[in-house]
Amino acid sequence: MSFPDTQSKSSVVNATANTAIIFAIAGAVALLHILTNGRYGFHRDELQFLSDALHLDWGFVAYPPLTPFLERILLAIFGVNIAWLRVSAVIAQCAVIILTGLMTRELGGSRAAQFIAALAVAFSPLEIFEGHEFQYTSFDLLWWVLAAYFVVRLLKSGDPRWWLGIGAALGLGLETKYAIVFYIAGIVAGLVFTAARRYFKSGWFWAGVAIAFLIFLPNLLWLARHDWISYTFLEHIHARDVGEGRAKGFLLGQFYVAANAAAAPLWIAGLIAFLRDRRYRMIAFMYLVPLALLFVGKGRHYYMAPAYPMLIAKGSVVQLRRLSRLPRWGRITIGAIWSAAFVYVSAFVCAILLPLASSGPLKQFALANSYDLREEIGWNDLVRTVAQIRDSLPADERAHLGITTSNYGEYGAIDVLGRAYGLPQPIGTSNSEWLRGYPTPPPTTLFVIGLTRAQANSIFTSCRWAGHNGNSEGARNEESVHHPDIFVCGLPRWPVAVLWQEHEDFQ
């Protein structure tokens, strides 16, 4: 009678060891981010989220409310501390890594398969980037992967109660980024066109639908009250992206942006295996349908990144089994080639997307190759310059001062970082800034940021040049190249109501 007990203890030990490996990978990635995330400064997108966090609502023009809500909690605890404010994104990416390993285990993967899948996802470009900066995509990625894990558990066990978890994950996704509707379309198609359609008859499925709807309901009501303004915003941004060529290279980007380039043999094998597997075929639709919709609709390549961990999980299982059937020399050769390719690609990804160095050639390489890292440079310089200009004004001009901005990065910098200098809340027309309106009583002296002299003179009276918006690093980014001047102006040339109606900007 002792043999089953011994076998059971052995299984527990193996499972514990497997879990420890997955957590070790997640911990190593977390440490990498913790050691580097305090370098440089906030990204312009992060400043928008932080600014919205200071003006909480059930929705924002550019996105649902969950990301600003999470950052409001961290602001309340840690203040404006860049490393701590990015902790939420680090935790989200660690969870993605862990879920990938657990998904691999549920699909029958060995310890080696779990290790490879977790590692391949950990060093995919989007996962690396999303652990460095908190964006709504940081959490959107988590909800896609969490839903996929629950679907795997559902299809493996046949227990319809997993629909409660799926519904909760999708509801949180809807409160994070609207693009998850493409994933939902894939889930529905997978149900319709596979044997999983039987779940339509389950009360647990409809309970999951209800949970998703209830979680999303506050934002849905906000959208209705604001005339579906986010839909108008998304139309505008999509047209801009297509017009500027940002949607080009969608399919090619699946290989080097949406997933680690060295992981292509894994996710391709995973997709094929899901298509062939009657039990798990639904998951293939969860990838193929969003891919087709985004390709036809001219979406950007990174929108598909959250769908790859589930493919990599299955592909790691399949490829390791194939490898095990080869002679020893074949296993060693293929393993060495893949490992070398993976290390090279991962090192390149980290060097471009992370602030690994605070100075020297590695920093210059990153800034030369990463637009997003360049966008982290100069916001403190801008706020400091504005404060110095303010301090140089006569007292009567300082008494009724307003600061206008032309984009959400400038607005967020003044709103969040400017509080340490006693700067007033800025006046902006981008995204949700426009909804906050023009201040009452209106300021009589205005700092104008982000406009050319001709633009400033066309909107405001008595404009004079007051300072330069550059950065101490000499980085060439949008602010230093396209918005280099700061002006001090008088009142607007038109009534505020007219001015505000004509300047609702989507960015």
pLDDT of residue 8: 53
pLDDT at 65: 98
**Res. 369: pLDDT tops 90:** yes
Q: Does pLDDT of 394 surpass 60?
A: yes
Number of H helices, E strands in the chain: 26, 4
Mean pLDDT of 459-470: 92
Say whether pLDDT at 506 is over 60: yes
- Taking only the tens place, the pLDDT of each residue in 326-354 is 999 999 999 999 999 999 999 999 999 99
pLDDT at residue 43 tops 70: yes
Q: State the pLDDT confidence band at 175, using cuts at 50, 70 and 90.
A: very high
Quick one: pLDDT at residue 2? 34
Q: Give the pLDDT score at 160.
A: 98
Name 467's bridge partners: 486
pLDDT at 3 over 60: no
How far, in Å, CA of 290 to CA of 186, rounded?
6
Q: If pLDDT is split at 50, 70 and 90, which confidence band does 471 have?
A: confident
| Strand order across the 401-404 sheet | 401-404, 445-449, 485-489, 464-468
For the record, the structure tokens of 191 come out as: 């149900």
- Tens of pLDDT, residue by residue over 314-328, are 999 999 999 999 999
pLDDT tens digits, 494-504:
898 888 888 88
Residue 422 has a pLDDT of 95
The mean pLDDT value of the chain amounts to 94
**Residue range 239-290, pLDDT digits in tens:** 999 999 998 999 999 999 999 999 999 999 999 999 999 999 999 999 999 9
Residue 17, pLDDT > 90, answer no
Model confidence band, residue 425 (pLDDT cutoffs 50, 70, 90)? very high
Tokens for 269, please give them.
Answer: 């094998």
| Percent of the chain whose predicted confidence (pLDDT) is above 90 | 89
Confidence of residue 399 (pLDDT cuts 50, 70, 90): confident
pLDDT at site 69: 97
In tens, the pLDDT along 88-130 reads: 999 999 999 999 999 999 999 999 999 999 999 999 999 999 9
C-beta of residue 67 within 8 angstroms of C-beta of residue 176: yes
Query: Cβ distance 247 to 298 under 8 Å?
Result: yes
Q: How far apart, in whole angstroms, are the C-alpha atoms of residue 361 and residue 19?
A: 38
Q: In this predicted model, what pLDDT tens digit does every residue of 52-84 receive, in sequence order?
A: 999 999 999 999 999 999 999 999 999 999 999
DSSP 416-479: HGGGGGTPPPPB--BTHHHHT---SSPPSEEEEES--HHHHHHHBSS-EEEEE---TT----HH
Report the share of the chain in percent with pLDDT over 70. 97
Query: To 5 degrees, how large is the angle CA 135–CA 34–CA 46?
Result: 20
pLDDT band at 11 (very low <50, low <70, confident <90, very high): low
Q: Residue 16 — very low, low, confident or very high, per pLDDT cuts 50/70/90?
A: confident
Residue 226: the pLDDT is 96
* Distance, CA of 208 to CA of 137 (rounded, Å): 23
Q: Is 485 helix (H, G, I), strand (E, B) or coil?
A: strand
pLDDT at 455 over 80: yes
Bridge partners (DSSP) listed for residue 447 = 403, 488
Give me the pLDDT at residue 7, please.
44
Instruction: Quote the crossing angle between the two packed helices 408-416 and 379-392, to the nearest 10°.
Output: 70
